[in-house]
Amino acid sequence: MISLHGLTKEFPGGVRAVDALDLEIADGEFFALLGPSGCGKTTLLRTVAGLETATSGRIVIGSADVTALPPGRRDVAMVFQDYALFPHMDVTANIAYPLRVKKVGRAEREAKAAETAARLGLAELLARRPGQLSGGQQQRVALARAIACHPAAFLFDEPLSNLDARMRLEARTFLKRLQRELAVTTVFVTHDQGEALAMADRIAVMSAGRIRQVGTPSEVFQRPADTFVASFIGSTPMNLLPGVVKDGTVRVAGAVLPAPPSLADGEEVVYGLRPEYMDLSATAREDGFAGRVSVVENLGTSFLVTVEDDDHLVQAVVPEDAEPSPGDAAWAVPRHARALFYRDGRLVGG
Ligand code: ATP
């Protein structure tokens, strides 16, 4: 288990990269730190690893307060974005390096390195140097090095970012399966929401050094706690439109839509709906956003359709057999049960 209590990291010049964070990560959990560039995720991970000193707050790993301990005594293994392999050492020596630092005998560390390498499909490559390996193989050597020393936790900083799109997908599945098998608490940093949704048991969405929401992938996807999370999560951004509550309905860009009873008459809200939950109608609907199809993007098995009028723009994901043409009149009709309502940026209904 990893718990953070009021953890703050301030750099000289007053940049608060991590701002009074509280977080509990369960034993064996696969946990993602997700957020845009500069939100503080790498600094948070490096502070947990001991590579940065906390300005204030506490870090507890297992039952030990490690806040003041050097990295080598925290019992964590970090895998960096660039893998940080030693170019002059072969695969065996790279994997065995942390064991050598721990003064494990040569025979034992080589056996351990060979066993871990075999597990990661590297058995044929033990004598090669990093320069003779593909990006995916280098990544697996870096993972093997982390695994070989049996840490209490793994910390991964963007471990897939050096791989091409196809290898990334393979590596996702591989990493998820490996983490399941090892059942070691793992925290990984990513700015890729798809990666976080696909791999993590839970996700913390960060912005400006703070956590905006912690939840399972389906919680953050289905019920984003605020409009920042709503616009950050999802492969196509959520439709977010201003509306006003009136007589038990909400009036949004000319459409009259059902409002939850908790909202008061006259209240101003932001109406949120994922494009995946928006259907298109070719005939007029009072509960639809009227406009014309302006852009149709092919997503492979579906289309992302943009419907615009002078004062609003909404997007819908429609099945491949329903491809509309640019210029068509269209009504984008929400699946009402999926609608979310935000007041002052915070989720208040839906
Ligand atoms: P990215 O995805 O781009 O790596 P990130 O979310 O990991 O971004 P951090 O690298 O943790 O963000 O940076 C958080 C903030 O702290 C940024 O504003 C950054 O400029 C600042 N920062 C990071 N390292 C230092 C440093 N050594 N000195 C001063 N400021 C720093």
Q: Verify whether ligand 1 is closer than 6 Å to residue 40 (CB atom).
A: yes
Query: 171-207 burial by CB neighbour count: b if 16+ within 10 A, else e?
Result: bbebbbebbeeeebbbbbbbbbbebbbebbbbbbbbb
- The helices-and-strands tally (H runs, E runs) of the chain is 8, 21
Question: Tell me: the pLDDT tens digits for 255-313?
Answer: 999 999 999 999 999 999 999 999 999 999 999 999 999 999 999 899 999 999 988 99
Residue type, 120: L
Which pLDDT score is estimated for 121?
A: 85
**Atom number of ligand 1 nearest to Cα 45:** 11
- The residue extents of the domains of the chain are 2-226, 239-349
- pLDDT of residue 162 exceeding 80, the answer is no
Backbone phi, psi, residue 327, to 5°: 100, -20
Residue 17 CA to ligand 1 center (angstroms) comes to 6
Residue 12 CA to ligand 1 center (angstroms) comes to 12
Which pLDDT score is estimated for 313?
A: 96
In this structure, are residues 156 and 163 in contact, taking their beta carbons and an 8 Å threshold?
no
Q: What is the CA radius of gyration of the chain?
A: 24
Listed in sequence order, the residues at least 6 apart from 203 whose beta carbon sits closer than 8 Å to its beta carbon are 31, 32, 33, 34, 196, 197, 214, 215, 216, 217, 220
Query: Chain-wide mean pLDDT for the chain?
Result: 93
- pLDDT of residue 149 exceeding 90, the answer is no
Kindly provide the ipTM of the predicted complex, given to two decimals: 0.95
The fold adopted by the segment(s) 239-349 is OB fold (Dihydrolipoamide Acetyltransferase, E2P) (2.40.50)
pTM: 0.91
Percent over 70 (pLDDT), the chain:
100
Residue 40 CA to ligand 1 center (angstroms) comes to 6
Give the span between the Cα atoms of 81 and 78, in whole angstroms. 10
Q: Verify whether ligand 1 is closer than 6 Å to residue 288 (CB atom).
A: no
Q: Verify whether ligand 1 is closer than 6 Å to residue 205 (CB atom).
A: no
244 DSSP β-pair partners:
251, 268
Residue 9 CA to ligand 1 center (angstroms) comes to 10
Stretch among 101-105, 229-233, 331-335 having the lowest mean pLDDT: 101-105
Q: Classify 218 as helix, strand or coil.
A: helix
Residue 58 CA to ligand 1 center (angstroms) comes to 20
Q: Which CATH number fits domain 2-226: 3.40.50.970, 3.40.50.300, 3.40.190.10, 3.30.700.30?
A: 3.40.50.300
Which pLDDT score is estimated for 322?
A: 79
Which pLDDT score is estimated for 324?
A: 87
Q: Verify whether ligand 1 is closer than 6 Å to residue 43 (CB atom).
A: yes
Give the span between the Cα atoms of 22 and 230, in whole angstroms. 22
Which pLDDT score is estimated for 253?
A: 94
Which pLDDT score is estimated for 159?
A: 82
Instruction: Please give the distance of CA 140 from its chain centroid, rounded to a whole number.
Output: 21
- pLDDT of residue 323 exceeding 80, the answer is no
Which pLDDT score is estimated for 134?
A: 87
Q: What is the average pLDDT across 93-97?
A: 92
